Amino acid sequence: MTQVAAIIGGGVIGGGWAARFLLNGWDVRVFDPDPEAERKIGEVLSNARRALPSLSDVPLPEEGVLSFHASISEAVAGASWVQESVPERLDLKQRVYAELMQHVGAGAVIGSSTSGYKPSELQDGLARPGQVVVTHPFNPVYLLPLVELVTTQANSADFVAQAKEIITRIGMYPLHVKKEIDAHIADRFLEAVWREALWLVKDGIATTEEIDDAIRYGFGLRWAQMGLFDTYRVAGGEAGMRHFMAQFGPCLDLPWTKLMEVPEFTDELVDLIADQSDAQSGHMSIREMERIRDTNLVAMMRALKWADFGAGALLTAQDKRVRDGTALGAPLAGRDLAAPILVLDRAVPLDWTDYNGHMTESRYLDAFAQSTDRFMELIGCDADYIAAGGSYFTAETHIRHLDEAHAGDRIRVTSDMLVGQGKKLHLFHTMWKGDVAVATGEHFLLHVDLATRRPTPAGDGVEAAMTAIREARAGLPLPEGAGAFIRSPS
């Protein structure tokens, strides 16, 4: 049964939450009195549809149903998650929560996107305060995984576990802040950096662009994949954090920052910051900057995924959660072996395209290599088998390009085993975009002993799996185009 999320307030953050839930298979019901809400959320959703699938190596769930409603009571009907993202005014939020208490089911999670207020302030005076938590995300919500989940003693352990499970299920990371504080954790760091940046601009030390360069070309990249303390631990060398603190701790006594002071927020300072920011990036629209941001985030996070580190490890875990139980994740024993075997199903990522906007040639080989790897896993040549000393090496490859694929297109690869016996494995992959064959990839592989690097017969389990496929396909014709460029099976 499809679950329902209600979004109360459809601005930048509310729209991001709507996209995150919707693209992960939830029905989303929105309440926002702004007459432009549907257009604004539609634009955010358009960007999300372009970017979010690129983070995944498996297809996203079937998109849910988006609807807009004239009242809070209509929007929250049947919702198991309610996300409040109204403006940062405590009196307004408290009025919204008082109304929510009258209409939201007792088992639903009510989360607030607030960046500053504590959950106890939101819970104050409510009939069921234990239903309300802070779930503070980061923009763009549909890409960045962090959610600061801030709770109080009014929230039961079971309720907190429920909130964590839902956040995890939509591909995000719940950072449980167990002791509430104004602005939670992350925004306190951001506020400190922001204050220092204001002083540096005000005092004429740096421009807005120079400060941004210091972050994006330096420590920002380090923080993105390792955080603060691990970064400093590495900076301490073999002696680790103790050495770092001994070496740099005395610097804390130096007047390097003005974090204990706040510059007067004058019109002159606002003008100075705004003028420099306009000079820095005013030639681009906000939508253009968002697309550049999204493209860069996808590239960084996919790189971290390849390394299976930081945010990339979260993506890998999410892919596994999505893949398990789908046709792509089904074991060989549960498949129709007489039919081509599904080995890959995914969207074409942004970084797989070239200057013509097409999926570039090297990525066809990448997709077919991933398909071969998946086929090997299915017949038993998995990580454990390879660690034990056996694997397949590709001896010949041929790719035919039949049609076009572009960023965001969903592609599937099915595999025919033409030969699978002894040392030989001959595969014929077909890449599909809907019902259209986009390309074929033919691969001839030899089973090798990794110790000697010489061909050797496959292990008994692998041989048995190949025999089952071979017997199921006995007498079937070769797929169109197979065997024309790599020796025909004999």
Distance CA 39, CA 52 (A): 20
- What's the rounded mean pLDDT across residues 253-278? 79
pLDDT at 232: 81
pLDDT tens for 426-472 read: 999 999 999 999 999 999 999 999 999 999 999 999 999 999 999 99
For residue 1, what are its two tokens?
Answer: 């049964």
pLDDT tens digits, 134-161: 999 999 999 999 999 999 999 999 999 9
Rounded average pLDDT over 276-302: 86
Contacts of the segment 309-315: beta carbons below 8 A, 24+ positions apart: 309/225, 310/224, 310/225, 310/226, 311/145, 311/224, 311/225, 312/225, 314/145, 314/171, 314/173, 315/55, 315/56, 315/171
From residue 272, how far is each of 36, 282, 468 by CA, in Å? 31, 14, 73
DSSP letter for 86, please.
-
SS3 state of residue 390: strand
pLDDT (average), residues 103-123: 96
| Residue 41 near residue 10 (C-beta atoms within 8 A) | yes
Q: Which of 241-255, 316-330, 335-349 reaches the highest mean pLDDT?
A: 335-349
- Give the largest Cα separation in the chain, rounded: 83
Pairing relationship of beta strands 109-112 and 81-84 according to DSSP bridges: parallel
Residue 248, pLDDT above cutoff 70: yes
| pLDDT beyond 90 at 235 | no
Amino acid sitting at position 113: S
Say if CB 411 and CB 348 are below 8 A apart.
yes
Residue 270: the pLDDT is: 80
- Could you report the per-residue pLDDT of 462-480, keeping only the tens digit for each? 999 999 999 999 999 999 8
Give the mean pLDDT of 74-90.
96
Contact 135, 21 (CB under 8 A): no
How does the average pLDDT of the chain come out, rounded?
Answer: 92
C-alpha separations of 385 from 306, 307, 317 in Å: 22, 22, 22
Within 10 Å of residue 223's Cβ, how many Cβ atoms? 15
Give the rounded percent of residues in the chain with a pLDDT score beyond 90: 74
More confident residue, 147 or 242: 147
Residue 427 confidence (pLDDT) = 97
Q: How high is the pLDDT of residue 238?
A: 81
Local structure of 259: helix, strand or coil: coil
Q: What is the Cα–Cα distance from 333 to 430, expressed in whole angstroms?
A: 22
Please state the rounded mean pLDDT for residues 178-184: 95
The partner residues of 425 in beta bridges, in order of sequence, read 420, 445
The answer on pLDDT for 227 being more than 70 is yes
| Rounded CA separation 61/2 (Å) | 11
What's the average model confidence in pLDDT over 168-184? 96
Give the confidence band of 254 by pLDDT, cuts at 50, 70, 90.
Answer: low
Residue 284: pLDDT band by 50, 70, 90 thresholds?
confident
- Check if the beta carbon of residue 244 is closer than 8 Å to that of residue 235: yes
State the pLDDT confidence band at 101, using cuts at 50, 70 and 90. Answer: very high
Contact 450, 461 (CB under 8 A): no
Residue range 14-26, pLDDT digits in tens: 999 999 999 999 9
What confidence score (pLDDT) does residue 233 get?
86
Contact between 234 and 226 (Cβ < 8 Å):
yes
pLDDT above 70 for 213: yes
C-alpha to C-alpha distance for 202 and 272, rounded to whole angstroms:
8
Identify which of 25, 65, 107 has the alpha carbon closest to the alpha carbon of residue 325.
Answer: 25
The Cβ of residue 88 has, within 10 Å, a number of other Cβ atoms equal to 12
Helix H or strand E segment including 230: helix 229-235
pLDDT digits (tens, 9 = 90+) for 28-58: 999 999 999 999 999 999 999 999 999 999 9
> Quick check: 95 pLDDT over 90?
yes
C-beta of residue 467 within 8 angstroms of C-beta of residue 417: no
- What is residue 433's predicted lDDT score, i.e. its pLDDT? 97
- 276/207 Cα distance (integer angstroms): 7
- pLDDT at residue 282, as a whole number: 84
Stretch 247-262: mean pLDDT? 72
Chain segment 336-377, per-residue pLDDT in tens: 999 999 999 999 998 899 998 899 999 999 999 999 999 999
pLDDT in the model for residue 488: 65
Q: What angle do CA 200, 205, 207 make, to 5 degrees?
A: 75
Whole-model pTM: value is: 0.84
Which DSSP letter does residue 75 get? H
Q: What is the pLDDT of residues 382-400, one digit of tens each?
A: 999 999 999 999 999 999 9
- Quote the pLDDT of residue 15: 96
- For residue 228, the model assigns a pLDDT of 85
**pLDDT score, position 489:** 61
Residue with tokens 């990339």: 312
Backbone φ and ψ for 413, nearest 5 degrees, come out as -125, 125
Under a CB-based contact definition with an 8 Å cutoff, are residues 21 and 64 in contact? yes
pLDDT of residue 267: 86
Reply yes or no on whether the pLDDT at 131 is more than 90. Answer: yes
Query: Looking at residues 57-82, what average pLDDT do you find?
Result: 96
Give the pLDDT confidence score for residue 246 in this predicted structure: 76
More confident residue, 239 or 165: 165
Q: Which domains does the chain have, with CATH numbers?
A: 4-177 (3.40.50.720), 186-283 (1.10.1040.10), 325-472 (3.10.129.10)
pLDDT at 201: 95
Instruction: Give the phi and the psi of residue 419 in degrees, each rounded to 5.
Output: -140, 135
Residue 57: which of 310, 312, 309, 360 has the closest Cα? 312
pLDDT value for 487: 64
